[in-house]
Structure 1
Amino acid sequence: MEDKRDKILKVAVEEFADHGYKAASTNRISEVAGVSKGLIFHYFGSKEKLYTAAVTYSVDLAMQEVPIGEMPTENFMEGAIWSTKQKLHFSKNYPAAFKLIMQSYANPPAALAERLHAYYTEMLQMQDVYMNQIFERVTLRADVVLEDAHDVIRALFDYTIKIATDYIRENPNATMQEMQPLVDKFMHMMAIVERGMIQKT
């Protein structure tokens, strides 16, 4: 029975990622998964709960494929680059799960917005634990607020993932080697953060 539940979740991830919450069809999910619609509601109770379960399933998969505990923390650049490469790899190998995560984070269904916001806040706090370990090994300028530095790095991560998503959408068969310029771009932006961008006279 767990095999059927797992199949429903995998199909639901694809359905919600492709059509969004409102337009997603439990009829299509039951047809593709090869189960009755009644079985879907037996397992999950409602469309809202199925969506939440699909999001949780996707995040769990991401945490499994991108084990944040393995991120290098000895060097700021190495840790940031490792994280970016792993996220790019996940977005390529699991595009539907990645898309659903991004959608549910940036534009969640109104009825689930508060619950998903709390869920992602908890996930980000876990990521911050490791980011803090990296920041502990660097010396920020006296006029730089740690929280602002966090926000800048997170914004760079988000931007890199956005352009990677656009690239993968246009080049679905791209290899990680072909995506190396995206990693190089991130490294260059990180170097600007470290050194600054204004030539002092």
Structure 2
Amino acid sequence: MYSSFEKLPKDKKEKIVKVCIEEFGIHGYKKTSTNKIVEKAGISKGLLFHYFGNKKNLYLYMINYAVQYFSKLFKNFIEEAHEDDIFIRLKKWGLFKIKVFSQKPKMYKFLTKAFLSPPKDLENEIQQIYHKIYSNNIDILVKDINVEKFRNNINIDKAIELLLISLDGITNKYLKEYFGNEDKILYDMESIIKDFDECLEILKWGFYEKK
């Protein structure tokens, strides 16, 4: 479907993607103007629709582009995450997400907005994309963890689910706090790590056997 676009020179292709993700991230699907996109990208409207067909396909392409970009980073993270302690792994994952956000804030905002507030006429397609990557990534994230460290009187699956929700809460706090000031994240990383340690230590004593 997008073969004409995929054949473009890399720099031209990346410029169009950058503009689309910025515009959709700021204005959302409904309010984004394709006229503004073509003006900023330096192409004609006819060419834009030649590449993507319509605005719906353009939006879905950008979602899949962002998903593939972040999935590749996630794969690289997993290849280096050898700890079998879920708290150590989740801490590293949370900090990794914050660092990725600091590097690609506009893409992160675009994808988050698309998943949390999908346009009604694209809701089914976007939810399918989200559920597929979420279930796959979560399974990979918690693979081969040492469940023997958990207390023997709790439901392991429920415990992991609660830990993931808690981690998202800690991470999202910083994503909101630093949005628009992403450069500050690296300077404040020491205090962020300390906060992660304190929060996860509290959770740890609720789930792990006490030694």
TM-score range, shorter chain: 0.7 to 0.9
Q: Which residue of 1 aligns with 2:90?
A: 80
CA distance in 2, matches of 1:97, 1:32: 17
> In the alignment, is residue 32 of structure 1 matched against residue 18 of structure 2?
no
> In the alignment, is residue 159 of structure 1 matched against residue 169 of structure 2?
yes
> In the alignment, is residue 126 of structure 1 matched against residue 136 of structure 2?
yes
Cα RMSD of the aligned pairs, angstroms, is: 2.1
Matches within 5 A, 1:36-185: 36-66=44-74, 67-70=76-79, 71-169=81-179, 171-185=181-195
Contact 1:74 1:134 in 2 (8 A): yes
Contact 2:66 2:111 in 1 (8 A): yes
Structure 2 SS opposite 1:171: coil
What is the CA-CA distance between 1:34 and the residue it aligns to? 0.7
CA distance in 2, matches of 1:74, 1:135: 4
Contact 1:72 1:78 in 2 (8 A): no
Question: Residue by residue, what CA displacement relative to the aligned partner does 1:77-113 show, whole Å, maximum 9, x if unpaired?
Answer: 2211111111001111100111012111211111111
What is the CA-CA distance between 1:186 and the residue it aligns to? 2.3
Contact 1:73 1:130 in 2 (8 A): no
Structure 1 SS opposite 2:182: coil
What is the CA-CA distance between 1:115 and the residue it aligns to? 1.2
Give the share of equivalent positions with the same residue, in percent: 25
Distance 1:115 1:28, change over 3 A: same
Q: Which residue of 2 aligns with 1:186?
A: 196
Contact 2:78 2:141 in 1 (8 A): no
Distance 1:75 1:150, change over 3 A: closer
Highest RCO, 1 vs 2 (Cα 8 Å, sep ≥ 6)? 2
Letter in 1 for 2:134: L
Q: Which residue of 2 aligns with 1:11?
A: 19
Contact 1:30 1:37 in 2 (8 A): yes
- TM-score (normalizing by structure 2): 0.83
Distance 1:42 1:83, change over 3 A: same
Contact 2:147 2:156 in 1 (8 A): no
Q: Which residue of 2 aligns with 1:22?
A: 30
Question: Residue by residue, what CA displacement relative to the aligned partner does 1:118-177 show, whole Å, maximum 9, x if unpaired?
Answer: 111111122222233254444433342233223212212321232112222253330424
Listed as ranges, the gaps of 5+ residues in structure 2 are 1-7
Listed as ranges, the gaps of 5+ residues in structure 1 are none
Distance 1:169 1:131, change over 3 A: closer
Contact 1:76 1:134 in 2 (8 A): no
CA distance in 1, matches of 2:101, 2:52: 26
CA distance in 2, matches of 1:6, 1:148: 42
